[in-house]
Each structure stands twice: as structure tokens, then as C-alpha cells.
């Protein structure tokens, strides 16, 4: 298959300091970039100010479009990284389900790369929280408190990643990989959340015994509700596991998910076209 090379350069045509034309500084070799819309090879043309006396003479003017499409030296676009994080943290998908979703879109990626990207997102979230902690606290105060949702999922080398979120706003409050899933492992994570945001109005989680034990220990007066999603999923697996597996195999064989997704995308395009006409 022929590589789709796309030329990328800054939107500036003149130096923002002196107004002199920008000229070529160097070209970057085309590199592979995988996005939800397909695979491309961006060829970035980096420019510089043509005025030797200008303060910006040594500056490098990069493509804004390319910088907003991916992180430096990564082959997967921001849209794929965001999609994987959304499937994991909001959709509560397993690694296998994420891989299946991406394969249905024609994207081949290893399980290890999915884990790596999720850990990368976790690091970004931590950095964002550190900068916006006071803003998150003010939002919680304005809403009159928060309901703490706790969800544990598999992460690097089998260690569980725990996501703490405010279920009222959907804001992720804290995310951390734990060394295990015992009460002793989880208690410091809960204590960190309570230190940052105070006591929640209620707690929502799955039926994991260690989570229930920590909540009972640290928040004895706070109501603890089991997540309906996890409860129904677990009950459904126990009662209908053979039938579910059979149905799942049939759906994969017939490509039901892909057909449904195409139908949804078609409806969205149709509605977008109708709204643009009005």
C-alpha cells in the first residue's frame, strides 16, 4: 500500500516579531501517524525568520496542526489515545474489548501499547489535577459535595489501576496504580482522596471486598452503594455465562458491532447534513 504523505507547516507566513517572511529551516522525515481516520505520514516543514537581526531568528516554527494531532515522537494520534482512555475509564472496557473495538476500525495495536497509552493518560491526568486542584475543589463546594465512585481495573504488569471520580460531575479526582488489591493497599489511596477533597456524600463501587472494608473503616457513617452496572454484569455472567458466550461468538462472527457502529455514524452524518442545510 502506498504511503499517504501529508505536508505540514506552520500557519504563520511572516515572523510575528518583525514581519519578515519565514523561510525553510529544515524538513523532518515523514513518520508514521495512526489516527481513527486512517494512517498517514506527516512531512513537517519547519520554518524560521529570514531576518538575521530579528530576536526570533533562532526560533523554530512548527506545524500547529501536527502538534495538536499527536504528542511528540508518538505514532498514535491524540484521537486514538483519547478514544482508548474513554473506553477504559468511562466505558469500563477490558483490554480485550478495547483491542476488539480498535480492530473493528482497522487499527492494529498490541495489548502492551494499550497499557502504555493508558498509563500515559494517567500521568497527564495527574499533572492536570496538580494544576487544577483548587478549581476542582471549588466545583465540589458549589455542588454541595461529591459522590465518590471507585473503580479498579487492570494496568501495568497486572497491577490494578484504581480510578476515583466524582460521579456528579464525571471529574476524575485521582488515579493510581496500586501494588495489590488488599485493604492495606487501597487505604492510602482513599486517604489521599479524602485529604484532597474531604468526606464524600456517598460512595459507589463494585462488590470488591477490600473496597468495602476500607470504606467501612474510613467512612463508617457514609452510605456505600453498589454500582448497578457492575452488579447486573456480575449477576448476568453467573446466570447466563454459557448463553452469553454463545451469543458473543455469533455477534463477532457476523460483525454486529461494526455494522451497528457504521449505522450510528451514518445517522450522525445524516443529521449533520440536515442541520447544515437549515
Rounded to the nearest 10 degrees, the angle between the axes of helix 111-142 and helix 183-197 is 40
Residue 49 falls inside a structural domain: yes
**Residue 255 located in a structural domain:** no
Structural domain total, the chain: 2
The burial class, CB within 10 Å (0-12 / 13-18 / 19+), for 123 is: exposed
Return the H-helix or E-strand segment holding 54: none
103 plus 46 within the same structural domain: no
Residue 211 lies in a domain: yes
* Domain-located, residue 199: yes
Considering the domain architecture, whether residues 56 and 173 belong to the same structural domain is answered as: no
Question: 38 with 95, same domain?
Answer: no
Asked if residue 265 belongs to a domain, the reply is: no
Q: Are residues 175 and 85 in the same domain?
A: yes
3-state SS, one letter per residue, for 141-173: HHCCCCEEEEEEEECHHHCEEEEEEECCCCEEE
Considering the domain architecture, whether residues 24 and 114 belong to the same structural domain is answered as no
Q: Do 10 and 64 touch, CB atoms closer than 8 A?
A: yes
- DSSP assignment string, 67-118: HTTS-TT-SB-HHHHHHHHHHHHTS---HHHHHHHHHHTT----HHHHHHHH
Strands 38-49 and 160-166: unpaired
Among residues 67, 92, 118, which one ends one of the domains?
Answer: 67
Predicted pLDDT of residue 37: 83
**Looking at residue 48, what is its pLDDT?**
94
User: Is the domain of 183 the same as that of 111?
Assistant: yes
Regarding whether 170 and 54 lie in a shared domain, the answer is no
Per-residue confidence (pLDDT) for residue 116, from 0 to 100: 82
7's enclosing H/E stretch is strand 5-9
* φ/ψ (deg, to 5) at 202: -165, 170
Q: What is the pTM of this model?
A: 0.54
Q: Is residue 30 part of a domain?
A: yes
Residues 113 and 63 both lie in one domain: no
What was the pLDDT predicted at 53? Answer: 94
Q: Identify the segments of the chain with pLDDT beneath 50.
A: 1
* 128 shares a domain with 226: yes
**Domain final residue, candidates 67, 86, 105:** 67
**Which tens digit of pLDDT belongs to each residue from 211-270?**
999 999 999 999 988 765 555 555 556 666 677 677 777 877 778 777 777 777 777 777
Residue 252 lies in a domain: no
Do 105 and 132 sit in the same domain of this protein?
yes
Q: Which sign, positive or negative, has the C-alpha torsion 51, 55, 59, 63?
A: negative
Residues 50 and 159 in one domain: no
Structural domain of 98 = 78-231
Read off the CATH number of the domain in which 98 is found. 3.30.420
Give pLDDT, residue 130.
77
User: Among the three residues 46, 67, 88, which one is the final residue of a domain in this structure?
Assistant: 67
43 with 92, same domain?
no
- Whether 106 is covered by a domain: the verdict is yes
CA quadruple 179, 182, 184, 188: dihedral sign: positive
Amino acid at each position: 500500500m502506498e504511503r499517504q504523505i501529508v505536508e505540514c507547516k506552520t500557519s504563520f507566513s511572516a515572523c510575528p516579531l518583525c514581519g519578515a517572511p519565514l523561510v525553510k529551516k529544515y524538513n523532518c522525515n515523514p513518520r508514521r501517524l495512526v489516527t481513527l481516520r486512517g494512517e498517514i505520514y506527516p512531512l513537517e516543514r519547519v520554518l524560521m525568520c529570514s531576518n538575521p537581526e530579528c530576536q526570533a531568528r533562532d526560533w523554530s516554527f512548527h506545524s500547529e496542526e501536527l502538534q495538536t494531532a499527536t504528542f511528540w515522537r508518538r505514532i498514535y494520534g491524540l484521537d486514538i489515545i483519547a478514544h482508548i482512555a474513554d473506553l477504559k475509564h468511562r466505558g469500563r472496557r477490558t483490554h480485550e474489548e478495547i483491542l476488539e473495538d480498535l480492530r473493528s476500525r482497522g487499527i492494529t495495536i498490541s495489548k502492551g501499547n494499550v497499557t502504555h497509552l493508558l498509563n500515559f493518560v494517567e500521568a497527564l491526568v495527574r499533572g492536570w489535577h496538580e494544576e487544577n486542584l483548587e478549581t476542582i475543589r471549588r466545583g465540589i463546594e458549589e455542588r454541595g459535595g461529591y459522590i465518590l465512585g471507585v473503580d479498579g481495573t487492570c494496568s501495568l504488569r497486572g497491577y490494578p489501576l484504581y480510578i476515583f471520580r466524582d460521579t456528579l460531575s464525571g471529574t476524575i479526582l485521582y488515579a493510581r496504580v496500586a501494588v495489590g488489591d488488599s485493604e492495606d493497599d487501597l487505604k492510602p489511596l482513599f486517604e489521599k482522596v479524602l485529604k484532597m477533597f474531604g468526606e464524600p456524600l456517598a460512595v459507589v463501587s463494585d462488590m470488591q471486598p477490600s473496597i468495602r472494608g476500607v470504606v467501612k473503616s474510613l467512612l463508617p457513617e457514609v452510605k456505600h452503594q453498589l454500582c448497578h452496572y457492575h452488579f447486573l454484569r456480575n449477576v448476568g455472567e453467573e446466570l447466563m455465562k454459557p448463553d452469553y458466550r454463545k451469543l458473543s461468538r455469533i455477534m463477532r462472527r457476523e460483525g454486529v458491532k461494526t455494522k451497528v457502529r457504521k449505522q450510528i455514524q451514518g445517522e450522525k452524518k445524516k443529521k449533520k447534513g440536515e442541520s447544515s442545510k437549515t
